[in-house]
Amino acid sequence: MIKRVAITAMAFVGLIVGAGFASGQEVLQYFVAFGNFGIIGAVVAAAVMMLSGMAAVQLGSYFLAGDHSAVLNRIAHPAIARALDIGVLVTLFSTGMVMFAGAGSNLNQQFGFPLWAGALLMLVLVVLAGLLDVDRVTQVIGAITPLIIVFLAVAISWALTTNTTPAHLMEQASTSLSTTLPHWTVSAVNYVGFNLMVGVSMAIIIGGSQFDPRSAGWGGLLGGIVYGALLVGSAIALFVSSARVGDDDMPMLSLVNEIHPVLGVVMSVVIYGMIFNTAVGMFYAFARRLTVRHPQRFWPVFAASCLIGFALSFAGFRTLVAYVYPVLGYVGAVLIAVIALAWLRSRASIREETGRRRRLLALAREAGTPTGQRQFRQALAASPLSEEQLRAALSEELTRAGHVEHGAPTHMAGSPDRDTADKLR
């Protein structure tokens, strides 16, 4: 369970910490531009994001969702669910597009490469990653995340320990930065809304691949805590350094370059990896949603979406962050309310279903007896999910845990037979 919680947490952080966050440009425009009040806004945003992320991942696990619509259709009025579904789809595509722009800006600032070169390399990597299944995608996203956490921590520590700028000059420099948002309170809500729109689809898919809602929830919570700490730390670091790096496309990268040029090169590569994380997550979830009824079309849709996003990314990284993100954030504020209310209403049901699934796993691993078979069938019937969906998820869970031999769960009373289990693989 601990390993799965950690993987989920790192995947969640990796989804959200994309080009905008890892570069510092996102934090600069949303929080630093409001001076001291912007730091308060960052703290508020971190707390809300932590709870929202946990709720999204756990709801995905509770409904064993394969895409975000499977949850939205169950927790919201049909009209609202449809509107949010469209909003999430637009967000996924738009954010993936921004990631291509960020990839170009990253290699351009650090190495002087043409903007198209970094974006084209990212396009190739993302399209190839689309050939992987959701578990592999989750592992890829989570594996790169610890690196950016380390580098952001180093950059934050450097900025705070070497700063000599007087407080009044820091406030003056930060508030002179441009932002399209009207007030720090609006900015905080908008930021969480946007990031939830960005992460909710893939977070639900990651949660939906986990049989145990409790461990999924802990993973989302831990990921939210890590992300919140990085957000507040980055906001403070860029606030005290805004006079030096406020005009750069990648201000956090500029801070690391101040420490040592070699670290700047490594940081650039790590940021590129985080951009890759977010781009994969966005286009993967986007294509999964569009092909939910025709999964065999997934990769062609995925590849075509990436190509279109690449073509549209040349509007410019800073411009896209300034104008695309806030619009999506206002839609995301509605999503926050819907998910929060659904999670609050479903807490008792989630706890009950968690216990039921653990009971099913225990019964599945025991030798078949008439009593065990009856209890197994009763537990299946009591679940709010369909028996077919629950059986399939149980078979996958046992396979993942190493309890399936030759494609069928051993001793699984009342479980799918060997032929059915083989089809589920």
Per-residue confidence (pLDDT) for residue 303, from 0 to 100? 93
Distance CA 393, CA 75 (A): 21
Tell whether the model's pLDDT for residue 60 goes beyond 70. yes
For 154, phi then psi, to 5°, come to -65, -45
Per-residue confidence (pLDDT) for residue 38, from 0 to 100? 93
Per-residue confidence (pLDDT) for residue 163, from 0 to 100? 83
139 vs 162, higher pLDDT: 162
Q: What is the DSSP string of 99-140?
A: HHHHHHHHHHHHH---HHHHHHHHHHHHHHHTTS-HHHHHHH
Q: Looking at the DSSP assignment, which residues form a beta bridge with residue 408?
A: 405
Does an H or E element contain 404, and which?
strand 404-405
Does an H or E element contain 246, and which?
none
Q: Looking at the DSSP assignment, which residues form a beta bridge with residue 409?
A: 404
Q: Which residues contact 42 (CB under 8 A, 6 or more apart)?
A: 27, 31, 188, 231, 232, 235, 236
Fold of the CATH domain 2-350: Amino acid/polyamine transporter I (1.20.1740)
Please report, as a single letter, which amino acid is at residue 420: T
3-state secondary structure of 408: strand
- Residues 210-221 have pLDDT tens digits of 888 998 999 989
Per-residue confidence (pLDDT) for residue 133, from 0 to 100? 67
Question: pLDDT-derived band of residue 397, with 50, 70 and 90 as boundaries?
Answer: confident
Mean pLDDT over 73-83 rounds to 87
Distance CA 384, CA 380 (A): 9
Per-residue confidence (pLDDT) for residue 10, from 0 to 100? 81
User: What residue ranges do the domains of the chain occupy?
Assistant: 2-350, 366-424
140 vs 327, higher pLDDT: 327
Distance CA 45, CA 27 (A): 11
Q: Are 67 and 288 in contact (CB under 8 A)?
A: yes
- Residues 356-373 have pLDDT tens digits of 988 888 888 765 677 778
Token pair in block for residue 60: 């995905």
Per-residue confidence (pLDDT) for residue 260, from 0 to 100? 87
Mean pLDDT over 165-181 rounds to 85
Find where tokens 């990839």 sit: 103
Does an H or E element contain 409, and which?
strand 408-409
In Å, how far are 38, 48, 328 from 322, measured between CA atoms?
16, 22, 11
Per-residue confidence (pLDDT) for residue 368, from 0 to 100? 63
Token pair in block for residue 22: 């890892």
Does an H or E element contain 367, and which?
none
- Residues 277-317 have pLDDT tens digits of 778 888 988 898 899 888 889 889 999 999 999 998 887 76
Does an H or E element contain 303, and which?
helix 298-312
Cα 48 from chain centre: 15
Question: pLDDT-derived band of residue 406, with 50, 70 and 90 as boundaries?
Answer: very low
Token pair in block for residue 164: 């000599």
For 163, phi then psi, to 5°, come to -70, 135
Q: What is the DSSP string of 305-331?
A: HHHHHHHHGGG-HHHHHHHHHHHHHHH
Question: pLDDT-derived band of residue 141, with 50, 70 and 90 as boundaries?
Answer: low
Token pair in block for residue 221: 């919570």
Q: Which residues of 198-217 are buried (b: 16+ CB within 10 A; e: fewer)?
A: bbbbbbbbbbbbbbbbbbbb
Mean pLDDT over 108-129 rounds to 90
377 vs 406, higher pLDDT: 377
Q: Are 353 and 383 in contact (CB under 8 A)?
A: yes
Tell whether the model's pLDDT for residue 148 goes beyond 80. no
Q: Looking at the DSSP assignment, which residues form a beta bridge with residue 178?
A: none
pTM for the whole structure = 0.74
Average pLDDT, the chain: 82
With a pLDDT cut of 90, the percent of the chain lying above it is 16
Tell whether the model's pLDDT for residue 190 goes beyond 70. yes
Per-residue confidence (pLDDT) for residue 96, from 0 to 100? 87
Find where tokens 């351009």 sit: 108
Per-residue confidence (pLDDT) for residue 201, from 0 to 100? 74
Per-residue confidence (pLDDT) for residue 128, from 0 to 100? 87
Per-residue confidence (pLDDT) for residue 17, from 0 to 100? 72
> Could you tell me which of 356, 398, 369 has the C-alpha nearest to residue 416?
398
Find where tokens 């977070």 sit: 203
425 vs 161, higher pLDDT: 161
Mean pLDDT over 390-406 rounds to 71
Among 3-17, 229-243, 249-263, 350-364, name the one with the lowest average pLDDT: 3-17
Among 46-50, 187-191, 404-408, name the one with the lowest average pLDDT: 404-408
Q: Are 57 and 77 in contact (CB under 8 A)?
A: no
Per-residue confidence (pLDDT) for residue 349, from 0 to 100? 92
